[in-house]
Amino acid sequence: MRKILISFIMVFSFYSCVFATGFNVGIYNLDNDLGFDLKGFCSNFFQYKFDISLKEIQYQDDLDLYRNTISKNNKVKESYAKNTKIEIKNLPESKKEDYKKINFIELKYVENCDSYFIKGDKVLLKQLCLDENLSLIIIPKTVMVSGFIRYRIFVYNNLEDSFSLVYDRLITKNQLELEEDDLLNNLLPVFYDEYCLVSILGENLNLTLVTPGNYIIHDNLVILPSGEYKIENYSFSIKKEKNLEISIEGKKEVAENILMNSKIGNLELLVNNYLQFKTPFKLDEIEVPYTIKVTKKGFKDSIMEVSDNSSNFEFDLSPSWIVTQNKFEESRKEFYNSFALSIGLFALRVVSKSLKEDNFKLYSGIDSFIYGVSIINLLNVANKLFIYYKSSAFLAP
């Protein structure tokens, strides 16, 4: 069965595969339960193979030779077996660049052959690497276990001829998602011997480029080799860290050339609660947003929050006595309303007394109730009168 499978793979891969330059990684997906997009995840974070060895470069050269011999119907030469003995000197930079890009290739599913991939059949996997021009094969596999989904990732490294389980987690049916930080940290050693996972704090920089190298940031994470880098205007360096957190503040908007003046004159300005000036005054620059508080003796304070780079402002500088006037009018109305209510209650009590003489049992209770309310209202009238007097005493003429 395995020989038939290998022959089948050789035929369909030769006629269907378009070989891409770079470091090629095949994904043979056996995830039938979770449906996680492992290819998309890997493509986002593993962009460049920046620590490619001479041995890996020689392996790529041997794959070129293998493809040429296949195309000419010559005997397949297993030149990749010589990798460990190859020494290359003075390799041109352009040659190195050819193999830096990591390409993830979705491999075609072969029916009834799951066990060959899960058990790490190296003859099969090595042949598949040759035919598909692959350095690695990643095999995600799910299986139901007692109500859980078990998600595993196996990796075959053709260069080292090794097969290993690199990720193994149980996921509940309610969860149905992987912890991507955990997955990323487990996959990093598969692709790199030396790396730094950079976490960016303080600003959303998704899909922003890190230069030089044009590394793309995803979910505020990016994998970088040692070196000096810049994200927009922010510069930082990486030495030999495995993990690095950098904090980048958002872009600050600055308002400039703001002239503050007033027809009234001599306004006191309190900017951001600590910068105090008097008009006329010119602010050369200030970070947006900011607040302005305007005060002047005899006027009520006015506060404004500025959220852009405007240079024209309007303030409500109503005279302070207007506030007192409003309070006076309010207390006057309350007093007269209470006084009118007391007159009405007095009239009701006169009526209730006259009715009580004709039917003492029925109206005596009503009369007592009206009397109690009248007493309470008279106390309220006295209180409103006192407030009315106090507000009029401080009213400006």
- Give residue-wise pLDDT tens across range 291-325: 888 887 777 777 878 877 776 666 666 665 454 55
Q: Yes or no: say if 155 and 190 are a contact pair by the CB < 8 Å rule.
A: yes
Which of 64-78, 113-127, 170-184, 353-367 is predicted least confidently?
64-78
Confidence check: pLDDT of 14 > 50: no
Rg of the chain on CA atoms, in Å: 42
> For 333-340, what is the mean pLDDT?
72
3-state helix, strand, coil in the chain (%, to 5): 40, 30, 35
Per-residue model confidence (pLDDT) at position 186 = 95
Estimate the crossing angle of helix 38-45 against helix 180-191, to 10 degrees. 70
> For 188-198, what is the mean pLDDT?
91
> For 219-236, what is the mean pLDDT?
92
Rounded to whole angstroms, the Cα distance separating 223 from 217 reads 9
Confidence check: pLDDT of 3 > 90: no
Confidence check: pLDDT of 42 > 70: yes
Amino acid residing at 26: G
Compute the residue count for the chain: 397
Estimate the crossing angle of helix 360-393 against helix 321-358, to 10 degrees. 160
Rounded to whole angstroms, the Cα distance separating 2 from 82 reads 26
Rounded to whole angstroms, the Cα distance separating 3 from 11 reads 13
More reliable by pLDDT, 393 or 214: 214
Question: 155 CB contacts (<8 Å, ≥6 apart)?
Answer: 136, 137, 138, 139, 163, 164, 166, 190
> Alpha-carbon dihedral of residues 97, 102, 103, 104, nearest 10 degrees?
170
Strand-pair category, 23-27 with 102-106:
parallel
> For 180-192, what is the mean pLDDT?
93
Per-residue model confidence (pLDDT) at position 69 = 66
pTM: 0.56
pLDDT category at 112 given cuts 50, 70, 90 is: confident
- Helices and strands (DSSP H and E) totals, the chain: 9, 18
More reliable by pLDDT, 335 or 11: 335
Work out the widest C-alpha separation in the chain, in whole angstroms.
133
